Chains A and B, each alone.
Chain A
Amino acid sequence: MNEAAPNQQLVQFHNVNYTLPNAPEPIISDLNLSVAAGETLVLLGESGSGKTTTLKFVNRLLVPTSGEVVVEGKSTMAWDPIALRRRIGYVIQEGGLFPHFTIARNVGLVPSLLAWDKERVDSRVEELLALVGLEPRIFTNRLPKELSGGQRQRAGVARALAADPPLLLLDEPFGALDPLTRASLQREFADLSKRLGKTAILVTHDVREALLLGTRIGLMHRGRLLLLETPDRFLASDNPQARAYLDTLTVTDHAGGAK
């Protein structure tokens, strides 16, 4: 089911720069990055570091000022943006669900846009709701506002997976959840992405989440990619920014009395 061969580079950033006319410094500077098929790349950084901007280049919500972003071997500028976006699952905080659509209609959105017939959409929606742990009988006809934050997030993931895209983009997907729900959803997502073999780029400011979910972690700071390492080597890094993150981890753990 995965069209990309192992080791094939699904997404590549070549010398990407992004500036805004009124901003004092570039939003993104000299970004070079490759994401291999099957891996989960986590972009870690504080707000304003450029990680969300980087994500939006991939589905062409933004276009670099210079340089190019290549998806499946083709520059995003050569893609029809509509076709490109329908091949990429996108999850944002709280799921970004449409408040006036039922959960079923939200989840079945991309298949409907792709003009699947109704029966196929319906059975796919049922399959996905079950997959993300939302009982279809209960949730199909509910509106997003009738769900809890965690349930909305699950629905958001189901929507991103609906048309079986090779690539998922996740922007702080678990950011708005309480710690317990967040932890359980993170674990479930780790299982799910391993099982489905999806390639994913995930943006977070939570170093725990990065270590838990990432096959590689890219540390971003003021528009630059400072570090790109596997979780093991990230833990051992002596980069001061990385250390700052890792220190918060220890403090939090002591404070929480865990470990």
Chain B
Amino acid sequence: MSFWQFLKLNWSELLLLIGQHVNLVLIAIVVAVVIGVPTGILLTRHRALRGPVLGIANVMQTIPSLALFGFLIPLPFIGGIGARTALVALVVYSLLPIIRNTITGILGVEPSVREAAVAMGMTDGQVLRQVELPLAMGVIVTGIRVATVIAVGVTTIAAAVGAGGLGVYIFRGLRQYDNNLLLAGALSSALLALIADFSLGLLQRRPKLVPVAAAVIILLIGVLTWRGGSSSTDQVTIGSKDFTESVLLAEIVAQMLEARGVSVERRFELGGNLPHDALVSGTMDLYPEYTGTAYTAILHHPPISDPRAVYDQTKQEYADKFQVDVSAPIGFENTFAILIRGADARALNLKTISEAAPHTAKWRAGFGQDFMSREDGYPGFSKTYGLKFAEVREMDLSLTYIALSSRQVDLIAGNSTEGRIATMDLFQLADDRRYFPPYEAVYLVRQDTLQRVPALREVLAKLANAISTEEMRRLNYEIDGNRRDPKEVVRQWIGGKQ
């Protein structure tokens, strides 16, 4: 698909994301100005406070954004999933240039001019408003300009906490190796930065336009917020992790709930452990997870291979520790799948990893970084089956499929639900020694939400054992391979089930 075709098909979504992006930036900058300029003024009056306050602002700016989100999500009022957390982070990142330039601007006013102002009988407030601020305005606007351009870039991170914006396209594009998505997100973001820089540059040269600009900004925030602000009555907030399968599973529950008259807020494509943090802190009600991940990554147990034990233990501990219910398994596993070309499997008549082991001395393997480093990855795997490869290449996970089918490598560790397994004619060797821990797909739901929304219990009961591995592969391929809209794919799937 060409970029122009992509734009033609997706312009309304792109506009929505640009609107969210602009809104986040504007609100953050307005708040940062409202906090930063008075703080800067205060610091010109109290020299002793200047070092400590600027130091704090400096340190805050060096906190990586994902870490900052991690701190913020469990906090009441300013935290949670969505725009608020993103805004707090953006404000934090915007404060330093604004405070610093306010100080520089005011202290840069000619001392004789300030003295004349005092000697004319101006009060402190009059000196500030009529002399210092107007003369410092150019420097202060420069600070706001720097902060705004930074904020346009940083706002792409907002997608990681479900606040929307152009980051949604950028993250999705990175995940799906879709250059159109990347280009649309990155170009729009760059364009916004240029427009912001240009407009503020104009303001700098014509300070008389500042009140007009302020009015326009307030109006713009009003319009954009009003458009997106209809979600306050949502009853259930559903989240997902930042990959296709998680989005699909979340969308399935969302649509089934909506069909039962429950309003749903979607917080999809969240990065890292944010869905877990949000679920535990109560800003999210449900998200899809894998038993093995919950068992090892969240509960910190060493990996074991008995699916029953992992499921039971996880369910028990989640109820005790987090008041979160683990749903019945959805029916498929998303574990490491040891894959070879279908042609090889048929020619050599291979079904299991043990049967393939003697051949590995002649084979080259391609593994993702994740598989090479994790506890339940390559080292234990090769030991368990006594594998010795001719060569092991570490490469990006998604590229391993292409490498395998184009005979660059002969064996890879993919995901068992990857859509391309079927379409590329790849064969999954059975884990006959049960080395890999079980990664059964389940939903994690807050217990209080189950009490509050009876329809949810009904929906989850319907989804127990509802999706096979083959079916999940097909659904994933509809999105990643055929580039279809997840909502559409889910709608069709639900329609076919009933």
How far apart sit A92 and B113, CA to CA, in the bound complex (Å)? Answer: 10
Q: How large is the interface on A (under 10, 10 to 19, 20 to 34, 35 or more residues)?
A: 20 to 34
In the complex, identify which listed stretch (A82-90, A184-192, A204-212) lies at the interface while the others stay far away.
Answer: A82-90
Interface residues on B, range: 10 to 19
Interface of A: prevailing SS: helix
The verdict on A59 contacting chain B, using a C-beta distance below 8 Å, is yes
Q: A82-B123, A92-B112, A113-B126 are in contact. Are A100 and B118 (CB under 8 A)?
A: no
For B118, the chain A residues whose CB sits under 8 A away are 61, 85
Given contacts A98-B131, A100-B135, contact A85 B121 (CB under 8 A): yes
Whether, in the assembled complex, A109 has its beta carbon less than 8 Å from a beta carbon of chain B, the answer is: yes
- The residues of A that contact B116 with a CB separation of less than 8 Å are 90, 92, 96-98
Which A-chain residue is minimally distant from B207 (CB atoms)? A100
Per-position contact with B for A222-259: 1 when CB-CB < 8 Å, else 0?
00000000000000000000000000000000000000
The docked-state distance in angstroms from the alpha carbon of A169 to that of B116 is 12
Interface residue B342 (Cβ < 8 Å from any Cβ of A) = no
Is the Cβ of B119 less than 8 Å from the Cβ of A85?
A: yes
Smallest beta-carbon distance B464→chain A, Å: 72
| Least distance between B65 CB and chain A CB atoms (Å) | 39
Least CB distance, B35 to chain A, in whole angstroms: 26
Chain A residues with Cβ under 8 A from B131's Cβ?
A: 98
What's the minimum C-beta distance from B129 to chain A, rounded to whole angstroms? 12
In the complex, what residues of A have CB within 8 A of residue B130's CB?
98
Cβ proximity bits A90-114 to B, threshold 8 Å, 1 near / 0 not: 1011101111100000000110010
A97 to B131, CA, bound (A): 11
Q: How far is the CB of B113 from chain A (nearest CB, A)?
A: 6
Is B120's CB under 8 angstroms from A109's CB? yes
Closest residue of chain A to B116 (Cβ to Cβ) is: A96
Q: How far is the CA of A82 from the CA of B113 in the complex (A)?
A: 17
Chain B, residues 102-129, CB within 8 Å of chain A (1/0): the string is 0000000010110111111111001000
> A83's contact among B120, B121, B134, by CB below 8 Å, is which?
B121
Contact (Cβ within 8 A) B121 A98: no
| A61 to B127 Cα, complex, angstroms | 14
Q: Interface readout for A30-65 with B: 1 if CB under 8 Å, 0 if not?
A: 000000000000000000000000000001010000
Provide the bound-state CA to CA distance between A97 and B135, in Å. 13
- Tell me which residues across on chain A come within 8 A of B112, comparing CB atoms: 92-94, 96
- Minimum CB–CB distance from B325 to chain A (whole Å) comes to 65
A92: B residues at CB distance < 8 A: 112, 115-116, 119
Knowing A90-B116, A92-B116, A113-B126 are in contact, say whether A100-B134 is a contact too (CB < 8 A): yes
Q: 15 other contacts beyond A92-B119, A113-B122, with CB at 8 A cut-off?
A: A59-B119, A82-B121, A84-B121, A85-B118, A85-B120, A86-B120, A92-B116, A93-B112, A94-B112, A96-B112, A96-B115, A100-B135, A110-B121, A113-B121, A159-B120
The 6 closest A-B pairs by CB, nearest first: A96-B116, A86-B121, A85-B121, A90-B119, A100-B134, A82-B121
Can you list 12 A-B contacts with CB-CB less than 8 angstroms, sorted by A residue number?
A59-B119, A61-B115, A61-B119, A82-B123, A96-B113, A98-B113, A98-B116, A98-B130, A99-B110, A99-B135, A113-B122, A113-B126
